[in-house]
Structure formats: C-alpha cells, structure tokens
C-alpha cells in the first residue's frame, strides 16, 4: 500500500518520512505550511494515488484593481473539473469569472467560498453536463482584485477526473526515487501516457532549490543528457544541485505545437526469427492537452566547502596526497588553497580529481606571494591524466615551499560541480 507522507513545517523529520514514502511506492511532500500549499499537496498526492489529473497550480500576486488570468485547457480526456482558489483578501475583494473555450462568460457555474480567519477558500465544479454544454478548448479563470488600495495573493489549483475514454496522464520522478545522494546526478524523468506512451510533447520542469531559488529546465525525449532511450515517451533532464536539502519539482506538459504522438519504442515484442517487429498502427493526437505533476527530491551528502575566493584567506591543502573536497557553491565560485611545507627537492604534482555534477575544473597555480601566476587555464583539455582528472606537474624552477592553487569551473555560468 503506497504511503504518502507530508512534512509540515521546517522541523519535520524529512528522512523517516521520505523512507516511508519510498519504501511503499508513495511520495513525499515537504513543508506545506499554508492552506493553499496543503490543498496543492493533497491534490498532487491524489493525482498519484488515483487517475485524477492536475491542470494548474499557480500563485498570483494581483495589484489593486488589476486582473490575472489562469488558462484551463479542457481536452477530451477530462471530466468533472474542480477549480480551487485560496486567497488572502476579503471575500468581496476578489471577483472570479470563468470563460469557456469560445471566450464566453460562463454564468451557470458558481464559486462557493468559505471565509476563514486568514485565508478565503473558493471552489467551483465544472460538471460533465456543463463541460458538454460549453465544450472543450482553452477556458480562462479571471481573477480581479476589486480592492482600491491593497494587493492580494491568490493560489489557483485545477484538477479533474479522467473521462471514460481515458486521459493524458503525467508522472514525474527522480531516476532513483526521491533521494539523491552526492555525487550522483539528479536525473528527473517524466512519463506521459494515454493508454500508450506519448513522445513529442513539450515538457518543462521548474525546480525550486532549498533557498527557494527557481530554475527552469526543458526535458527531452531525445536519448541524450540523461535520457536513456530516444522517442520512448519518457522525458529526462539532469538538474544541477549544489547543496543539501529539498528540491521541489513541478513539471508542466502541453501539446501546444501539436507534435505529440503515441510511441511503442521500447515496447515492441521481439520476433522469433529475429526480423524487425512490425509496429502497430497508432492513432494521431489531434488536440492540445495540459498537465502538471510535482515531486520533491531530497539531496544529501553534498560536502560544504566554500573555500575563500582570495589567496590570503585560503584553506590549507597539505602536500601529502591527502586531498581536500571542493565544490562550486555558486556561479563564478573560486576556491583558493594554500599549500605549505613543500619539499622543493622532489617532484611536485597538483591534481583535481573525483569530478562530478558536470565539473570541468580550471586550475590556476600561484607562487608564494599568491599573486604571481605559475600557470593558468589548466584544464582537462590542456592537462588530462590517463583516468580523467586534471594533472599538473610544477616545474622545478617554479617550486617554492609555499604555493597557491585556485579552482573554478571552466564554464563561467555553471552554478554547480
């Protein structure tokens, strides 16, 4: 039986909750601290446990007298759509209006609102009959802040039941479940199905790191960059990370440019005589569909190692082959090391090894004043070892009892490595 665990607040025991979810095929959701977040977390869990689909999960900040618009794409695979709005304004201050796929104001569906202490909860149900009457296509939920002076925050969630003919369904996971242990890469996979797997759709992942910094990554079904098989309906991306903690992942899927097609790649039954198996004829996908899916991954064992960016506060690195762990902690990070008590009568070699998370080191070596450059731009290209690390032998004429080494990422925009 899958168990869904919810970490509530910052002091919740992530480890046991994660293990519980992983061990039972469930999922772990972290830190839902507001009513809107709890609604969202339960809708996500419900979508995984049932065939229910999530179409939107967006938070809007709306200035006084301004409007925001949430598109709700209604396709043939949806029945009984529920729209939830949680907001922090007075009930009378937020006007909610639905428009159908033809752009016509929908007057026969009402929002029911509950006024609680700090959050107002409104919801509307678009029943099967109403869906049939108004038709599919891109609906809009318009949110208007009627207050003349104050802005408001509103969280919109839209979920739906699958129609009897089946529905487009999306699942997102880490390639090894919820847990990522350094130095393993964080590989996200998304599967899109409607009975069969679907390739060619647009898949975008938004990743929120433990500092609440968001990054957007496109996911591809092209067999490269972490994607195992091209065209099999499983989309992948390698996501960067540089610290321990919880990474929230939201995947948005659509067929806006009508390129989605069913695929049987990877599913063809081998023939007895070894001939190429015949693919069955697959129907075309003639409509847009929009889905979102979420998961959270917990990263652990990342070494914290933000050595100083300048030589005069650098970390000590002993000339004993012991090594020190280094890490690109942020974009442009430089880690400076001081190497003292060097035996200037022996050969002296500096290595940058155990490279992970796409690290391409650029090493600079300085003399004992920390300023005079011995050599710079020492990389895997210029100074490779036989086993894939950077290997630099310091010339005897450059050797002093103290040297400095600085390591940064060869790719200037890189934020991890």
Residues that bind Ca ion (CB under 5 A): 221, 227, 229, 232, 234, 306, 309, 327, 329, 333, 335
Secondary structure (3-state) at 159? strand
Query: Could you tell me which residues come within 8 angstroms of residue 99 by beta carbon, excluding any fewer than 6 positions away?
Result: 105, 106, 139, 140, 141, 142
Ordered DSSP codes for 19-31: HHHHHHT--EEE-
| Peptide bond before residue 135 is cis, with ω within 30 degrees of 0 | no
The nearest distance, CB 324 to Ca ion, in angstroms, is 11
**What is the DSSP secondary structure assignment for residue 47, as one 8-state letter?**
H
Residue with the two structure tokens 């012991």: 322
The terminus-to-terminus CA distance of the chain in angstroms comes to 38
Secondary structure (3-state) at 124? strand
Identify whether the C-beta of residue 163 lies closer than 8 Å to the C-beta of residue 53: no
* Residue among 265, 266, 257, 264 at smallest CA distance from 285: 257
* Residue among 183, 184, 227 at smallest CA distance from 205: 227
* Residue among 42, 19, 22, 24 at smallest CA distance from 32: 42
* Residue among 110, 285, 292 at smallest CA distance from 204: 292
Pairwise CA distance, residues 199 & 221, whole Å: 7
**What is the DSSP secondary structure assignment for residue 41, as one 8-state letter?**
H
Pairwise CA distance, residues 62 & 308, whole Å: 42
Within a 10 A sphere around the Cβ of 370, how many other Cβ atoms?
A: 16
Nearer to Ca ion, 19 or 308 (CB): 308
Ordered DSSP codes for 173-220: EEEEEEEEETTS-EEEEEEEEESEEEES-EEEEEEE-TT--EEEEE-B
């Amino acid at each position: 039986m899958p168990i869904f665990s919810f970490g509530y607040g910052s002091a919740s025991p992530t480890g046991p909750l994660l293990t519980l979810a992983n061990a039972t095929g469930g999922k772990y959701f972290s830190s839902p601290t507001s009513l809107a977040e709890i609604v969202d977390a339960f809708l996500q869990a419900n979508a995984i446990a049932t065939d229910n689909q999530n179409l939107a999960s967006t938070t809007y900040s709306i200035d006084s007298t301004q409007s925001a618009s949430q598109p709700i794409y209604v396709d043939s695979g949806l029945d009984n759509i529920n729209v939830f709005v949680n907001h922090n304004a007075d009930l009378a201050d937020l006007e909610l209006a639905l428009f159908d796929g033809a752009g016509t104001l929908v007057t026969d569906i009402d929002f029911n609102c509950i006024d609680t202490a700090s959050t107002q909860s409104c919801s509307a149900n678009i029943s099967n009959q109403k869906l049939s009457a108004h038709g599919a296509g891109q609906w809009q939920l318009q949110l208007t802040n009627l207050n003349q002076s104050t802005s408001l925050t509103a969280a919109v969630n839209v979920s739906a039941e699958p129609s009897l003919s089946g529905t487009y369904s999306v699942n997102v996971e880490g390639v090894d479940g919820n847990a990522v242990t350094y130095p393993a890469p964080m590989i996200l996979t998304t599967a899109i199905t409607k009975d069969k797997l679907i390739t060619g759709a647009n898949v975008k992942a938004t990743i929120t790191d433990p500092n609440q910094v968001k990054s957007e990554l496109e996911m591809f079904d092209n067999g490269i960059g972490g994607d195992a098989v091209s065209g099999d309906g499983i989309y992948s991306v390698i996501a960067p990370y540089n610290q321990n903690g919880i990474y929230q992942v939201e995947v948005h899927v659509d067929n806006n440019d009508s390129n989605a097609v069913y695929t049987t790649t990877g599913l063809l039954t081998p023939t007895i005589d070894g001939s190429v198996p015949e693919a069955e004829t697959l129907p075309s996908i003639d409509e847009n569909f929009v889905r979102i899916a979420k998961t959270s991954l917990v990263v652990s064992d990342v070494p914290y190692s933000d050595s100083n960016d300048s030589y005069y506060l650098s970390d000590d690195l002993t000339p004993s082959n012991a090594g020190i762990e280094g890490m690109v902690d942020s974009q442009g990070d430089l880690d400076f090391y001081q190497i003292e008590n060097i035996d200037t009568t022996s050969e002296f070699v500096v290595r940058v090894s155990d490279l992970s998370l796409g690290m391409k080191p650029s090493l600079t070596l300085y003399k004992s004043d920390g300023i005079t450059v011995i050599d710079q731009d020492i990389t895997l290209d210029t100074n490779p070892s036989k086993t894939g690390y950077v290997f630099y032998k310091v010339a005897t004429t450059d050797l002093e009892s103290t040297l400095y080494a600085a390591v940064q990422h060869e790719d200037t925009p890189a934020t991890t490595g």
